[in-house]
Structure 1
Amino acid sequence: MSEKPSREDEMAGTEQPFVQHLMELRDRLLYCIYGIALAVAVLAIWPGPNGLIDFIAHPIKMHMPPDAKLIAVGVFSPFFVPLKVLMMVAVLAVLPWIMYQLWAFVAPGLYSHEKKFALPLIIFGSFLAYVGIAFVQFFVLDKMFAFIQGFTPESVAATPDIASYVEAILSLYLAFGLAFQVPIVVMLLVRFGVVDIDKLKSFRGYFIVLSFVIAAVVTPPDVISQLALAIPMCVLYEVGIIGARWFKKTAPLSESEEEGKTSVDSHS
Structure 2
Amino acid sequence: MPLMDHLRELRQRLLWSVAAFFIAFAGCYYFAEPIYFFLAEPLIKVMRELGHSNPRLIFTHLLEAFVTYLKVAFFGAIFLSFPVWASQLWLFVAPGLYRSEKRAILPFLVASPFLFLLGAALAYYFIFPLAWRFLAGFATPPGGWDGASVDLLPKVSEYLSLVMHMILAFGLAFQLPVLLTLLCKVGILNVDSLRKGRRYAVVIMFVVAAVLTPPDIISQIGLAVPLIALYEVSILAARWMAPKPTDES
Judge same fold: TM > 0.5, yes or no. Answer: yes
1:111 alignment partner, one of 98, 114, 126? 98
Query: Could you say which structure has the larger radius of gyration?
Result: 1
Task: Indicate the SS of the match to 2:55.
Answer: coil
1:63 alignment partner, one of 34, 38, 46? 46
Runs of 5+ unmatched residues, structure 1 = 1-13, 254-260
Name the aligned partner's letter for residue 176 of structure 1.
Answer: F
Q: TM-score, normalised by structure 2?
A: 0.87
Q: CA deviation at 1:145?
A: 0.4
Q: Which residue of 2 aligns with 1:193?
A: 187
Q: Which residue of 2 aligns with 1:225?
A: 219
Q: CA deviation at 1:44?
A: 4.7
Q: CA deviation at 1:177?
A: 0.9
Matches within 5 A, 1:63-82: 63-64=46-47, 65-82=52-69
- Calculate the aligned-residue CA RMSD, in Å: 2.3
Name the aligned partner's letter for residue 123 of structure 1.
Answer: V
- Measure, in 1, the Cα distance between the counterparts of 2:203 and 2:84: 35
Q: TM-score, normalised by structure 1?
A: 0.81
Q: CA deviation at 1:23?
A: 4.1
Matches within 5 A, 1:74-153: 74-153=61-140
Q: Does 1:30 align with 2:24?
A: no
Runs of 5+ unmatched residues, structure 2 = 142-148
Task: Indicate the SS of the match to 1:151.
Answer: coil
CA deviations 1:12-59 (Å, max 9, x no partner) are xx7x63x555544433332222222232344455xx111111100111
Q: Which residue of 1 aligns with 2:228?
A: 234
Task: Indicate the SS of the match to 1:62.
Answer: helix
- Measure, in 2, the Cα distance between the counterparts of 1:200 and 1:249: 16
In the alignment of these two chains, the number of paired residues is 238
Q: Which residue of 2 aligns with 1:50?
A: 33
Matches within 5 A, 1:148-163: 148-154=135-141, 155-163=149-157
- Measure, in 1, the Cα distance between the counterparts of 2:14 and 2:42: 34
